Amino acid sequence: MFSTLLRGAAAWICSGLAMGLAAQAHAGIVLNTTRLIYPASSKEVSLIVHNTGTSDILAQSWLEGSPDSASPDTPPFAVTPPLARMAGDARQLIRVMYSGEGLATDRESVLWLNVQEIPQSASENELQIAIRQRIKVFYRPQGLTEDPLKAAQALQWRVSGGSIEVSNPGPFHVSMIKLDARKNGRVLLQEASRMLGPRQRVQWPLSPATSSGPVELSFISINDFGAQEPYHVRVSGEQMTQASKAEPHPD
């Protein structure tokens, strides 16, 4: 009986390995950028999709509104081609075009571009994994005079009533990761990521309750090029304070 169980376990393991290898053969799709910036002066923006696998796939692409912004559920954009057949190791140009109306004209809008792999029919023992990539598309209307590369530095921070508050006075979104607030080395707040929209204000309760005195806050901003820029600010009381760039250091 033991040998029967052993043979069954070995067969199950081998089957799992075979399916895993089959899944690896499909690999997946890779985009050549982590975000798209769409200036209103441009007729279109584009990106490259790479099928890193060896099998043929269909690549389906579409846009959807962001739940964190006022962008519409059905964005006024065309994505072409919406469906493309791609051979193994092939690349496909995806173009995004704005219809010219439907989005705010005084601030940046953000949307999600989805590119999903649809595997072709597989054999009986082959595991199929559909891969979907999502990146943000930032549409920028004409007439915005502020510098988007200084949007993170323009954020205004203050401590009020046991909470830390940040306001974004500008027209651009600010993407932040690794938010960390401390006092005398004690952690008061940690958040993995947050995107702050134009004219948006956010409050975080500090734990434990904060007594008087400055709070040391750091975060990393993701700029237009996908690069990470560290910032630091010392927040004291209800006086609004702006962060300054910090020297990067290894984790």
- Over the stretch 63-111, which tens digit does the pLDDT of each residue have? 998 766 555 567 899 999 999 999 999 999 999 999 988 899 999 999 9
Query: Final residue of a domain: which of 140, 174, 191?
Result: 140
pLDDT for position 22? 40
Residue 19 in any domain: the answer is no
Confidence of residue 118 (pLDDT cuts 50, 70, 90): confident
The arithmetic mean of pLDDT across residues 25-33, rounded, is 79
Pairing of strands 201-205, 186-196: unpaired
The arithmetic mean of pLDDT across residues 131-160, rounded, is 94
Q: In angstroms, how far is the first alpha carbon of the chain from the final one?
A: 53
Query: Final residue of a domain: which of 140, 161, 191?
Result: 140
Burial of 202 (0-12, 13-18, 19+ CB in 10 A): middle
Average pLDDT, the chain: 85
Q: Let me know whether 126 and 177 are in one domain.
A: no
The amino acid sitting at 103 is: L
Q: Which of 2-6, 55-59, 207-211 has the lowest mean pLDDT?
A: 2-6
Residue 66 in any domain: the answer is yes
Distance CA 247, CA 190 (A): 20
The helix (run of H) or strand (run of E) holding residue 8 is: helix 2-26
Confidence of residue 245 (pLDDT cuts 50, 70, 90): very high
Q: Let me know whether 93 and 173 are in one domain.
A: no
Q: Let me know whether 238 and 206 are in one domain.
A: yes
Burial of 127 (0-12, 13-18, 19+ CB in 10 A): middle
C-beta separation of 86 from 118 below 8 A: no
Q: Let me know whether 65 and 161 are in one domain.
A: no
Query: Final residue of a domain: which of 140, 165, 183?
Result: 140
State the sign of the Cα–Cα–Cα–Cα dihedral 31, 33, 36, 42. negative
Q: Let me know whether 33 and 127 are in one domain.
A: yes
CA-closest candidate to residue 217, choices 174, 169, 156: 156
Predicted confidence (pLDDT) at residue 5 exceeds the cutoff of 60:
no
C-beta separation of 51 from 99 below 8 A: no
What CATH number should be reported for the domain holding residue 85?
Answer: 2.60.40.10
DSSP 74: S
Confidence of residue 23 (pLDDT cuts 50, 70, 90): very low
The single residue listed with the structure tokens 């005084």 is 106
Residue 18 in any domain: the answer is no
pLDDT for position 74? 78
CA-closest candidate to residue 227, choices 1, 33, 29: 33
Cα 214 versus chain centre, distance: 31
Q: Let me know whether 71 and 112 are in one domain.
A: yes
Domain region containing 118 = 28-140
CA-closest candidate to residue 164, choices 180, 186, 184: 180
